[in-house]
């Protein structure tokens, strides 16, 4: 008899779980509260400019094995651009472009030589940077579970300049959190994934189109083609639990009774709202970091590269979208409540300092604020992330916040979705995967 699964949430976690289950001939119904798929990773048509905008620029990397496998699985991999080798252009004030790139040598020497030639930092700082990377294969991350990234870098004698020009950019980009808050343990795990997993692991992967067109459309078509159902604008308001299992799912429109399993692929705070009973289970009290995405339109776009990273600026990344520029500010809790007028003035000042861009060339802007973009991976929370299998026998958790061993990333979300599907299918090998 065909088993029936209801997936709550249509972000990366929910879509991956639904796709893998539908492929195994489970009857899947995905409920999404909003009128679109994608969760915190989507695009939309801005009617004012007639431009497709991402809610935020999302960078994938070659080490995102779960995500790349999922994109191939749903036929979406061709919608992404893959670097042949790592190349990132960093910028200091005065439009001084300082590339960090790997070279045509055998791995890992191509990356090490790239670091050695990274002129944003002094030669002595480059030597100290390479010293850390030489230790990386031998580090046991668990030994750093009581240390934040800043403390670890100080222990490794990393100067303020190398912290500003390399480590902070990498950490904030990967974790959306400053180095004083984020766990050194999880950062070391990330460094190993990026720099010790082969030549392609450190490369950048970017969507060719808007995020919804790049993967949501393919995921939806795959799920429906395999017998699944997707219902949009269907917010779940309550889960009824009786005799240690979910028996009813109440949405704003109807009550669902016919299912065998439930996968909750929504954020922890949203799950807390629909299970209002601390006797069932208590989720960690996650703290969150914001991300600001500021889209600006120019009289003429003169940017020659696809993207730039900024050194010592409140702006972290600038992406050339062709029609406009997308500016990304991670770890933006101190800025997210500022007015749009104050934010755009800051952008104008920084773009003039770093790119010599006259503010009169900016003819329009749109600011998108993701106030709870990612949870903060501090040492006091990473070991409290819940397992995906719950004490409710037919309820499984998914999302970037569950215990995947990864930070709050697309890769974590996709991994959790695949793992949730495998729990239902009966393949639980993911539990023993190395982190």
Q: What is the residue-level pLDDT of the chain in tens, covering all 435 positions?
A: 789 999 999 999 999 999 999 999 999 999 999 999 999 999 999 999 999 999 988 889 999 999 999 999 999 999 999 999 999 999 999 999 999 999 877 777 888 888 989 999 999 999 999 999 999 999 999 999 999 999 999 999 999 999 999 999 999 999 999 999 999 999 999 999 999 998 899 999 999 999 999 999 999 999 999 999 999 999 999 999 998 999 999 999 899 999 999 999 999 999 999 986 767 777 889 999 999 999 999 997 677 788 999 999 999 999 999 889 999 999 999 999 999 999 999 999 999 999 999 999 999 999 999 999 999 999 999 989 999 999 999 999 999 999 999 999 999 999 999 999 999 998 444 433 333
Contact 154, 23 (CB under 8 A): no
In sequence order, what are the beta bridge partners of 92?
Answer: 96
Predicted local distance difference test score (pLDDT) of residue 20: 98
Predicted local distance difference test score (pLDDT) of residue 278: 65
Contact 51, 394 (CB under 8 A): no
Predicted local distance difference test score (pLDDT) of residue 433: 35
CATH of domain 288-375: 3.90.660.10
d(CA 177, CA 332): 9
d(CA 114, CA 365): 36
Minimal CA–CA distance to 424: which of 21, 74, 11, 7? 21
Predicted local distance difference test score (pLDDT) of residue 376: 95
Question: Which residue ranges make up each domain of the chain?
Answer: 4-38+209-286+378-432, 100-195, 288-375
Minimal CA–CA distance to 368: which of 266, 290, 300? 290
d(CA 423, CA 261): 10
d(CA 265, CA 6): 10
d(CA 226, CA 186): 37
Predicted local distance difference test score (pLDDT) of residue 276: 65
d(CA 72, CA 75): 5
Predicted local distance difference test score (pLDDT) of residue 56: 86
* Residues with Cβ within 8 Å of residue 226, at least 6 apart in sequence: 19, 22, 23, 25
In sequence order, what are the beta bridge partners of 320?
Answer: 325
| Pairing relationship of beta strands 4-8 and 27-31 according to DSSP bridges | parallel
How many beta carbons lie within 10 A of that of residue 176, not counting itself?
A: 26
395-397 sheet: strands from edge to edge: 229-231, 27-31, 4-8, 261-264, 395-397
CATH of domain 4-38+209-286+378-432: 3.50.50.60
Rg (CA), the chain: 22
Contact 42, 36 (CB under 8 A): yes
For residue 311, give the 3-state DSSP assignment: coil
Predicted local distance difference test score (pLDDT) of residue 111: 85
d(CA 144, CA 141): 6
């Amino acid at each position: 008899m065909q088993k029936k699964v209801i997936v709550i949430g249509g972000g990366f976690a929910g879509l991956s779980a639904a796709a893998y289950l539908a492929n195994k001939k489970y009857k899947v119904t995905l409920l999404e509260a909003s009128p679109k798929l994608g969760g915190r990773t989507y695009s939309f048509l801005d009617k004012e400019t007639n431009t497709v905008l991402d809610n935020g620029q999302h960078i994938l990397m070659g080490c995102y094995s779960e995500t790349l496998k999922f994109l191939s699985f749903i036929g979406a991999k061709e919608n992404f651009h893959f670097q042949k080798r790592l190349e990132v252009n960093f910028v200091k004030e005065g439009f001084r472009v300082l590339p960090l790139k790997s070279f045509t040598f055998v791995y890992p020497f191509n990356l090490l030589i790239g670091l050695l030639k990274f002129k944003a930092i002094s030669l002595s700082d480059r030597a100290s940077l390479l010293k850390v990377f030489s230790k990386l294969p031998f580090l046991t991350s668990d030994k750093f579970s009581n240390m934040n990234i800043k403390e670890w870098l100080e222990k490794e004698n990393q100067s303020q300049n190398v912290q500003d020009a390399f480590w902070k950019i990498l950490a904030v980009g990967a974790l959306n959190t400053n180095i004083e808050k984020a766990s050194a343990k999880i950062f070391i795990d990330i460094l190993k994934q990026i720099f010790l997993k082969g030549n392609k692991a450190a490369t950048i992967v970017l969507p060719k189109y808007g995020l919804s067109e790049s993967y949501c459309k393919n995921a939806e078509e795959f799920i429906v083609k395999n017998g699944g159902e997707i219902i949009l604008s269907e917010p779940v308001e309550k889960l009824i639990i009786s005799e240690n299992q979910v028996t009813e799912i109440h949405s704003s429109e109807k009550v669902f009774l016919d299912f065998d399993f439930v996968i909750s692929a929504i954020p922890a705070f949203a799950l807390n709202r629909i299970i209002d009973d601390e006797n069932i289970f208590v989720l960690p009290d996650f703290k969150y970091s914001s991300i600001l995405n500021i889209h600006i339109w120019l009289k003429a776009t003169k940017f020659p590269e696809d993207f730039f990273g900024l050194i010592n600026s409140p702006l972290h990344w600038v992406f050339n979208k062709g029609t406009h520029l997308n500016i990304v500010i991670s770890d933006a809790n101190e800025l997210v409540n500022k007015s749009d007028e104050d934010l755009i003035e800051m952008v104008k000042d920084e773009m003039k300092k770093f790119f010599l861009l006259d503010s009169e060339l900016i003819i329009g802007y749109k600011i998108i604020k993701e106030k709870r973009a990612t949870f903060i991976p501090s040492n006091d929370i990473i070991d409290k992330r819940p397992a995906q299998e719950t004490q409710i026998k037919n309820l499984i958790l998914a999302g970037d916040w569950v215990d995947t061993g990864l930070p709050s990333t697309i890769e974590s979300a996709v991994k959790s979705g695949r793992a949730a599907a495998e729990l239902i299918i009966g393949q639980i090998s993911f539990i023993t995967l190395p982190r």
